[in-house]
Amino acid sequence: MRLPRCRRLIHLSRIVATIGLAIALAAPAPSYAAEIKILTTRAMNHVLTELGGVFQRTSEHKITLILAPPNEIVKRIVSGEMVDVVMSGSAAVDNLVKQGKVAPGDRLILARVGIGVAVRAGAAKPDIGSVEAFRRTLLAAKSIVYTDPAVGGASGIHFEKVLDRLGIAKEIKAKSILNARAATTPSAEIVARGEAELGIQLISEIVLVPGAELLGPLPGELQAMNVIWAGIVATASDPDAARVLFKFLTSPAAAAVIKATGMEPGGP
């Protein structure tokens, strides 16, 4: 059973408080402090926001978040932007590895997350429990918003493949909004404002958006689990501090927050 958003926030706050106490009691005293600049897609935003304070208190290292879509992340790193860590899907991080911007041994899986459907809080909840029901719901919807595939968002790229598979691409695209600003404005937020009836997005980008609700994941046969990778950029100012962050984010304690935001922990 999914918790209402207010209860999820309370639950998440309690998890973070417990994590902070547990890590504080176990952590050795830090000997120096660094600023870790993270260029990330929105998928990890809630996790990093919730855990940033705990990480800073227990390590004295500070994290600074910079949100961008996958294609922009690659372009910015290749053009020489000075950041320490990137967090994105497999395609973007693999691209950076091939270009020598992230060493193969300096990347790890943080989480896995599926694609879900957002509706406005309190709105009718149509059936998406089977492939045929999902197809009917898409055709009946007045408007749909999803991430513009041109920016490299995994959910938008996959959703257009689903539309082709269902044979309804022309009908759905005619009434769809392509969200090119998904890195800063989640599609679920557009749904919450009443500007679209349905939103297609990674589940972690839906569950904590005010005014929106997760209707459910895509039907099993149409689902695609997205792997969220983290990598240390070759020009990182302090690789050791980034490794401390990686150890923190793959700890059993941090896994509880990752789960609370609709994802599966990737493990160490």
Collapse the DSSP code of 37 into the 3-class scheme (helix H, G, I; strand E, B; otherwise coil) and give the result. strand
Say yes or no to pLDDT of 231 above 50: yes
Of the listed ranges 48-57, 115-124, 195-204, the least confidently predicted one is 48-57
pLDDT in tens, 17-40: 455 545 443 445 455 789 999 999
Q: Indicate the average pLDDT of the chain.
A: 89
User: What average pLDDT score do residues 5-28 get?
Assistant: 49
CB 229 within 8 A of CB 126: no
Give, in order, the Cα–Cα distances in Å from 128 to each of 1, 119, 202, 260.
16, 12, 16, 23
pLDDT in tens, 47-101: 898 898 889 888 889 999 999 999 999 999 999 999 999 999 999 999 999 999 9
CB 11 within 8 A of CB 37: no
Say yes or no to pLDDT of 202 above 80: yes
Specify the higher pLDDT residue, 106 or 16: 106
Query: Which neighbouring-strand residues pair with 113?
Result: 226
* Per-residue confidence (pLDDT) for residue 3, from 0 to 100: 52
Structural domains present in the chain: 5-112+226-265 (3.40.190.10), 115-222 (3.40.190.10)
| CA–CA gap between residue 215 and residue 248 (Å, rounded) | 32
| CA–CA gap between residue 113 and residue 203 (Å, rounded) | 7
pLDDT band at 158 (very low <50, low <70, confident <90, very high): very high
Sequence letter at residue 216: G
Q: What are the structure tokens assigned to 116, written together?
A: 């879900």
CA atoms within 13 A on the CB side of 221: 10
| CA–CA gap between residue 156 and residue 91 (Å, rounded) | 14
